[in-house]
Chains A and B, each alone.
Chain A
Amino acid sequence: MSQEIQLPELGSVGLLRYGWRQLTSMRTALILLMLLGIASVPGSLIPQRTQNPIAVGAYFKDSPELSKWMDRFFLFDVYGSPWFSAIYILLFISLIGCVLPRTIEHFHAMRALPPPTPKNLNRMENYSKWDATGGELVTARSWFKANRFRILEQEGTISAEKGFMRETGNLFFHLALILILLGISFSSLFGMRGEAILNVGERFVNTPTSYDSLTYGKLFKDGKLANFIVTVDNFDAKYNVLTNAPEDYTLNITLQQGDLSIREKRVIKVNSPLTIGSTRIYLQANGYSPVVTVRDSEGSIALQGPIPFLPQDGNLRSIGAIKAPDANPQVGFLGSFVPTYARSNGNGAISVFPQALDPRLLLSVWSGDLGLDSGIPQSFYRIDTSSMQQIGLKSLKPGEVFEYSGGSITFEGYLKWVNLSFVDDPGKNYALLGAIVAILGLLASLFTRRRRIWIRCGSEIEVAGLAKNAAPGLEQELHKLIRVLKGEI
């Protein structure tokens, strides 16, 4: 170590202050904003766990080594990653540190008078002079007043200023950005979001165990889950017969709130969620649950009920797994449900329409160890068949039974299921308010110009003007003023 880098004498307080000033400069804020833009790119190109866990799984399967490395850099969770959070938290701090002092400064500047008229107006770019005819000062004063300039009058001169809306709007814009960020943080601390798949006819009691997945903010309390019960009465899907595309989904439910004694009928549609207090319920997805009964060799029931299957295409060909761990030996069925059956050459059974016009359940039956006791979490829709044996293959119509060695399975029919999201997002109104203020502030700051105009009246009239940021339009304005002063208009 021969030479230390020479820093200015700052001391620790000085260094902190220096750092703070750097962080809260507009330049830093902008760089952070750019960084946030750049940092959001990978998440749009690489599948994200929060949006597409299945694609992430496929990634891991295809290139396990690479995926492991990518995962270390949170590339499958970009928007929740420490580095992404670091950028926006810094941006947040930077914005606050930058905008608050400016707001105070601007507040003072707005109430201050414009600075006095400079001595040498002829140095200004937009300068003109002509011989006085008298009364110009009075005319100028009333013109400035009529055009809402703020003026300072001194010894035969007027200094006028206008366009504070630019900075005001600008500050409002930036303050609004802070409000949006606050709204988002508020939601992530106090909000909650849960998902549940419900078959038609089922009841949902709003307790943590009813959810398939439930996440809540650090400051959201368990006891705060709203008190309600939802019963799925009916789900109706309409499809276009030409394109097979869905046209309308209507979900009818019965809602019980509060002391649960009142039952109300309600409708949920894709663009109109149900609002219960601060919780909203959204219709997200739907599909079919084949209803099956599995019996063992003695005829006693090992499993009975609807099993939700996962849609694979627009015609709702769905796959799923039926697991009967209570059978002896254990038995599992890998299934495919097609609502409107057709045979394709090559692909086996396909569905040709999303409505259940001619439903089939196609099963492969596996016997052996389902691996449910291994402690490794298992997919609801898959079976690990590595220690199992295939003992049958069958396509069933509703009501049909398939007997295999060691038992039977009956395809009783099907139910529709709906996937509901339950969301409590207490910060969203602040974010919305912030967004509205941001637009208004932006408009005000983009479309107003801050400028000063001076006039000095003696034997000659001198007029000059100056626009901040060389904003256009000052020339015309001056021209107009001059014509007014000369009595031309």
Chain B
Amino acid sequence: MSRNWAYLSNYLVYSSMAVYTISFIAHAIETAWAIKIPNASSSQTFDFKRTEKVARIATAMMVLGFLLLFAGVIARGISAGRVPWGNMYEFSITGALAFSGAYLAALRKYDVRWLGLLISIAVLLTLGTAVTVLYVPSAPLVPALKSTWLVIHVSAAIISGGVFLLANAVAAAYLYLDSMESKGERTPWAKRLPTLEYLDQLSYRLVAFVFPLWTFAVIAGAIWAESAWGRYWGWDPKETWAFITWVAYAAYLHARVTIGWRGRRAAWLCLFAGSTFLFNYVYVNVWGTGKHTYSGL
């Protein structure tokens, strides 16, 4: 029974990878066509109708990939009889899910479809690493993870992570377009992307939106640590880096709101803060020591 669910989960994860690949290709074609708009240099405004259809396919595939991956994560959870956050394979597939989910959620409100190329490749790379390097058979939890706090703490952390990374993608796009504009006009394909100001605001809004959730994730972790390990804060490497990420984003928010940073400096600070989050995930799970070593590596 649980075996079958595990197989089903793997099957769904692989299918979602196939669909994400299609989405990636569609996004790539869309971008390529946008680059090859005829007479690009002569006209100021462009008509992107030609690419619109492909872009819709790309988004539709992204939604489908998300749904398949979602089902895959759920099936994984059923196979193990618990929430699917017990080891690094599971963190990775759920993280990829949160990342593309954050993108799709943002897509409903903001003009971020052009980010799909970046998102789909990032999700593919994460899933690829997960199924090849990180895969472990589905198994019950070790005793330390048996707690309702697993659900609360990890879901908050994974969702925050997904949105932080999305903000990073936006900030990176900002920097790229900014350096392009400083050399002259945007190349034709980049003209369909939003203005710099829009990107600048967007990455700020994303961060401001999840910062409280991240704070909550850290606090929920502390409450859990109190009941599992007998102290709520012990400067374990994972805790330390969660704190550093928190400080970095607090610095980012302050730099924007109180000092008035905008543009390049803010984008770099945003990238820096996001990289502390990634560092925590990779370094502490793979090489780190400490009590957070449930990664299964």
Contact = CB atoms under 8 A, between A and B. Distances in A.
Interface of A: 26, 30, 33-34, 36-37, 40-41, 43-45, 47-48, 50-52, 55, 78-79, 184, 193, 240, 242-243, 245-249, 269-273, 280, 282, 284, 421, 423, 425, 428, 431-432, 435-436, 438-439, 442-443, 446, 469, 472
B251 A439 contact: no
B126 interface: no
A442 B290 contact: no
B47 interface: no
B216 A271 contact: no
B247 A34 contact: yes
Interface string B242-259: 011001101101100110
Interface string B214-252: 011001001110111111111111001101100110110
A50 B233 CA distance: 12
Given A30-B254, A37-B247, A40-B235, A439 B143 contact: no
Interface residues on B, range: 35 or more
A47 B290 CA distance: 9
Interface stretch (B15-23, B98-106, B134-142): B134-142
Given A48-B235, A270-B146, A435 B219 contact: yes
Contact of B289 (A52, A184, A243): A52
B137 A243 contact: yes
Nearest to A79: B235
Central interface residue in A240, A271, A443, by most chain B CB within 10 Å: A271
B230 A51 contact: no
A43 B219 contact: no
A47 B289 contact: yes
11 contacts: A30-B251, A43-B235, A44-B241, A50-B235, A55-B289, A282-B228, A425-B226, A431-B232, A439-B212, A439-B215, A446-B211
A248 B147 CA distance: 12
Contacts of B254: 30
| Cβ-closest 7 pairs across A and B | A37-B247, A282-B230, A270-B143, A44-B237, A44-B240, A271-B147, A421-B230
A438 B215 contact: yes
- Where chain B touches its partner, the secondary structure class is helix
B297 interface: no
A280 B230 contact: yes
B231 A439 contact: no
Nearest to A173: B215
A245 B87 CA distance: 12
A242 B212 contact: no
A41 B212 contact: no
A271 B228 contact: yes
Contact of B144 (A36, A51, A271, A421): A271
B147 to A, nearest CB: 4
Given A55-B289, A421-B230, A432 B142 contact: no
B137 A432 contact: no
Given A43-B235, A47-B289, A245-B142, 16 more contacts: A26-B258, A30-B254, A37-B244, A37-B251, A40-B240, A48-B235, A52-B290, A193-B231, A240-B140, A243-B139, A247-B141, A271-B147, A280-B230, A431-B232, A436-B219, A438-B219
